[in-house]
Amino acid sequence: MNFLFSPPSLDDLIHLLKAWRFWVLGALVGSLIGAATYYIAPPPYRARAVVNVDFNFEQAFPENTDRQDFYYLEREARKLVELAWSDDVLSQLNLPADELRDGKLNLSQPAEAGWHFYADDRDPQQAEELASAWATAFVEKAQAEIKAGNIHELVRLEVTQSNKLPKERSVPLSNYLLAGTFGFSLLAVFFVLFVKTK
C-alpha cells in the first residue's frame, strides 16, 4: 500500500526506461485496437450545410459603436439560435425533435458570416439530406420571422451550401489511434512498475 502512494524513486524511473520496448509495443497494440474499433464500429457520418448570416452592422448603426454592435449581434443571434432549434423548424425534418436535439444535429458559428448546420447519421446520404433540410427550413422560418418583425429587418440569410455537401466521419480515425496509443502506453507503464514490485 505504501508503494502505491510513495513518489517514484530513481530506480523506478530507470526500470521504466529500460522497459521502453514494452510500452512502445503497448502503444502499437493500442493504436491497432483503436483502428480495429474504428472499422468494426465506425462513428456516424457527418454532413455540413452552410447558411450565410449577415447582420448588416453598418446599416443598423451608422455610427458603428462597439457597444451597440455587441448588443445587436447578441440579441439577434440568440433569436436565430432559438429559431434553429425550435419545434417549427425541426418538425420539417420528419424525425422526433428529441432525437434531433440529442446529438443528431449540431449548430456551429452562431455569429455573423457562415453558420454550419451539422447532421450525423449512419447513412451518409441521410446525413446530407438532414443537414440540407435543416438549413433550408431554418432560413425559410427566419425570413418569415423577419417579415413579421420578430427579427431585425436588416438581418439577411442565405443558404450557401445545401447540395453535394461534404460528408465525413463525425470522429476521425486519428482520434481512435491516439486514444488507443495513449491508453495502452499508460497501461504498459503501470504494468512495468507493477511487475517490478513483484
HSE-CB at 7 with a 13 A cutoff on CA atoms is: 1
Asked if residue 153 has pLDDT above 70, the reply is yes
Cα–Cα distances (Å) from 78 to 83, 90, 125, 183, in that order, read 8, 17, 30, 40
- Better-predicted residue by pLDDT, 32 or 186: 32
Cβ(51)–Cβ(139) under 8 Å? yes
At 92-101, the pLDDT tens digits run 998 999 999 9
Cell of 79: 433569436
Which cell is 131 given?
Answer: 443537414
Spatial separation of the C-alpha atoms in residues 148 and 116, rounded to whole Å: 25
Q: Which CATH class is domain 45-168?
A: alpha beta
Taking the model in full, what pTM does it have?
0.76
Beta strands of the chain (E only): which ranges? 45-54, 105-108, 113-121, 156-161, 167-169
pLDDT tens-digit map of 45-89: 999 999 999 887 777 666 656 666 678 788 888 999 999 999 999
Pull the grid cell for residue 29.
Answer: 497494440
**Residue-range domain boundaries for the chain:** 2-41+173-197, 45-168
| pLDDT tens per residue across span 164-175 | 888 899 888 999
Instruction: Look at residue 7 in the predicted model and tell me its pLDDT.
Output: 60
Count of other CB atoms within 10 angstroms of residue 118: 19
- Asked if 130 and 45 count as a contact pair (C-beta separation under 8 A), the reply is no
CB-CB contact of 183 with 30 (8 Å): yes
